[in-house]
């Protein structure tokens, strides 16, 4: 999930206040950030080995230099989600041709200098620039020297470079220094996030939430959950009726409640507690078959709870014909 640069990477945040009139950004990913995608990680404002986003929460990681706009599944990536410039400008660099695959540590040497994967760098004038990383192989549709507008498609969200989930990493810089568009002066006050941003309409801040709910006949592995295929029917002889919830922004102590209601009432109600912080995670619970399952629709409800407050709740269904 760590991203490198097409150009040299400077991790220092801008030291002086920046005027919002210098640049005004639009959301660079063509999806609904409340339902279809989400911001997984923000610029790291913690000078230590720990990480802290602009709201003093842990939605970041050490030295993270941009904003990660994440998709909810690889299936969504395969369908295609367009990336557009956050502001008009001139393309200064591109890369394409790198494969879409989950990063593993044994690729570190091979990816040296190419952590960004397939990407685009844009000069906006006045010392401002943006960089877009992890684009889908073969999707980059601009060339150096191209003038781009807000509606220009740069490429599509992918899984190239040093990343473990499909997302767009966008870094904003002023005179080579990283700037957090959510808090451009870098003067963080916990409990009182800055009201001054560089966004025309600031993307919604979600401290965590449910990404997807699904059913299976056995506990799925993480790769299957991330892929995003949905099971809509199960046979009456399914050995187990399993409900899972896929979520992001998990913190130690968060609780995930999983409930299944069937044609004749409650089937399962179980609550699981996270024992550590997790950027993305899933939890599952199930009930073994005793005789054939009753025909009909089964509804699964997954709720994520933090300190007694509901962060999100989603439902899914499966039919046993």
User: Which of 157, 179, 201 is the last residue in one of the domains?
Assistant: 179
Q: Is the domain of 25 the same as that of 167?
A: yes
Q: Is the domain of 268 the same as that of 310?
A: yes
Q: Is the domain of 39 the same as that of 155?
A: yes
Q: Is the domain of 35 the same as that of 170?
A: yes
Q: Is the domain of 225 the same as that of 301?
A: yes
* pLDDT tens digits along 57-70: 999 999 999 999 99
| CA terminus-to-terminus distance, the chain | 41
Look at residue 138 and tell me if it is in a domain: yes
Look at residue 297 and tell me if it is in a domain: yes
Look at residue 286 and tell me if it is in a domain: yes
3-class SS at 191?
coil
Q: Is the domain of 92 the same as that of 31?
A: yes
Range of 136's domain? 20-179
User: Which of 179, 198, 232 is the last residue in one of the domains?
Assistant: 179
Q: Is the domain of 171 the same as that of 27?
A: yes
Look at residue 197 and tell me if it is in a domain: no
Q: Looking up tokens 């005789």, which residue turns up?
A: 291
Where does the pLDDT of residue 21 fall: very low under 50, low under 70, confident under 90, or very high at 90 and above? low
Q: Is the domain of 230 the same as that of 283?
A: yes
Contact (Cβ atoms closer than 8 angstroms) between residue 116 and residue 6: yes
Look at residue 188 and tell me if it is in a domain: no
Percent of the chain with pLDDT over 90: 85
* pLDDT tens digits along 102-141: 988 888 888 888 999 999 999 999 999 999 999 999 999 9
- What is the number of structural domains in the chain? 2
> pTM of the predicted model, to two decimals?
0.90
Where does the pLDDT of residue 15 fall: very low under 50, low under 70, confident under 90, or very high at 90 and above? very low
Q: Is the domain of 73 the same as that of 119?
A: yes
Q: Is the domain of 117 the same as that of 224?
A: no
Where does the pLDDT of residue 19 fall: very low under 50, low under 70, confident under 90, or very high at 90 and above? very low
User: Which of 159, 179, 199 is the last residue in one of the domains?
Assistant: 179
Where does the pLDDT of residue 274 fall: very low under 50, low under 70, confident under 90, or very high at 90 and above? very high
Give the residue with greater pLDDT, 192 vs 169. Answer: 169
CA dist list (Å): 180 to 130, 190, 263: 11, 16, 50
Q: Is the domain of 173 the same as that of 240?
A: no
Look at residue 278 and tell me if it is in a domain: yes
Measured between alpha carbons, how far is 222 from 141 in angstroms, rounded to an integer?
32
Look at residue 203 and tell me if it is in a domain: no
Contact (Cβ atoms closer than 8 angstroms) between residue 267 and residue 261: yes
Q: By CB neighbour count within 10 A (0-12 exposed, 13-18 middle, 19+ buried), where does 288 fall?
A: exposed
Look at residue 192 and tell me if it is in a domain: no
Q: Is the domain of 265 the same as that of 155?
A: no
CATH number of 274's domain: 2.60.40.10
CATH number of 167's domain: 2.70.70.10
Contact (Cβ atoms closer than 8 angstroms) between residue 157 and residue 81: yes
Measured between alpha carbons, how far is 126 from 18 in angstroms, rounded to an integer?
12
Q: By CB neighbour count within 10 A (0-12 exposed, 13-18 middle, 19+ buried), where does 162 fall?
A: buried
Find the range with the poorest average confidence among 144-148, 184-188, 259-263, 295-299: 184-188
Measured between alpha carbons, how far is 43 from 66 in angstroms, rounded to an integer?
5
**Buried/exposed 25-52: b ≥16 CB within 10 Å, e otherwise:** bebbbbbebeeebbbbbbbbbbeeeebb
Measured between alpha carbons, how far is 51 from 98 in angstroms, rounded to an integer?
29
Where does the pLDDT of residue 169 fall: very low under 50, low under 70, confident under 90, or very high at 90 and above? very high
């Amino acid at each position: 999930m760590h991203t490198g640069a097409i150009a040299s990477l400077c991790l220092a945040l801008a030291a002086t206040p920046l005027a919002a009139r210098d640049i005004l950004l639009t959301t660079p990913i063509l999806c609904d950030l409340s339902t279809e995608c989400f911001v997984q990680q923000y610029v790291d404002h913690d000078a230590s080995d720990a990480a802290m986003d602009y709201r003093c929460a842990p939605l970041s990681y050490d030295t993270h230099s941009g904003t990660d706009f994440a998709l909810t599944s690889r299936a969504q990536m395969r369908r295609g989600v367009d990336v557009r410039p956050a502001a008009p400008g001139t393309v200064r660099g591109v890369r394409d041709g790198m494969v879409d695959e989950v990063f593993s540590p044994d690729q570190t040497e091979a990816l040296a200098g190419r952590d960004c994967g397939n990407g685009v760098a844009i000069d906006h004038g006045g010392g401002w620039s943006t960089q877009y990383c992890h684009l889908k192989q073969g999707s980059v549709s601009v060339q150096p020297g191209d003038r781009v507008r807000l509606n220009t498609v740069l490429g599509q969200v992918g899984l190239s470079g040093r990343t473990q989930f499909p997302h767009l990493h966008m870094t904003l810089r002023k005179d080579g220094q990283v700037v957090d568009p959510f808090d451009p002066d870098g003067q963080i006050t916990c409990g009182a996030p800055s009201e001054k941003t560089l966004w025309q309409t600031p993307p919604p801040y979600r401290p965590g939430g449910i990404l997807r709910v699904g059913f299976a006949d056995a506990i799925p592995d993480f790769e299957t959950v991330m892929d995003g295929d949905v099971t809509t029917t199960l046979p009456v002889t399914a050995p187990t009726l399993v409900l899972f919830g896929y979520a992001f922004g998990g913190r130690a102590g968060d609780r995930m409640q999983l409930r299944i209601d069937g044609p004749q009432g409650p089937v399962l109600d179980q609550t699981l507690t996270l024992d550590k912080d997790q950027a993305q995670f899933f939890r599952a619970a199930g009930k073994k078959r005793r005789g054939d399952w009753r025909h009909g629709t089964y509804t699964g409800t997954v709720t994520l709870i933090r300190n007694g407050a509901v962060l999100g709740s989603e439902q899914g269904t499966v039919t046993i014909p």
